[in-house]
Amino acid sequence: MSNTLYVWTFTPRALVTVGLVKFLKLDVEIVEDRESDERYIKNFPLNKVPAFIGKNGFKLTETIAIAYYCMSVSYTHLRAHETLSDLVCRLLLEK
């Protein structure tokens, strides 16, 4: 299983969450046709979107909660892929 984000296309909530996932280059599958997705139907019976489900079954259904989660994951993700020049720039900026 992978991280999955379920959205309605072209809604403000979708634009925020999808844009953030793409900007942060997170490993998240974006699904727009959720009605035919068995995993969505099973995990989100109230049919709320956006909806996020993580690899381990972790679920979120609110835009702000999903955005906060993506930002917290991306910080760790970005640090793991930091180059030496990125590290130097970050340390200089943090002073």
d(CA 10, CA 83): 35
Which residues of 1-95 form beta strands (DSSP E)?
3-6, 28-31, 51-53, 59-60
Confidence of residue 80 (pLDDT cuts 50, 70, 90): low
What's the pLDDT tens digit per position in 14-71? 888 998 888 888 889 999 988 888 889 999 999 889 999 988 889 999 999 998 888 8
Cα distances (angstroms) measured from residue 25 to each of 21, 35, 36, 70: 6, 26, 26, 10
Residues 63-84: b if buried by 16+ CB within 10 A, e if exposed: beebbebbeebbeeeeeeeeee
d(CA 75, CA 79): 6
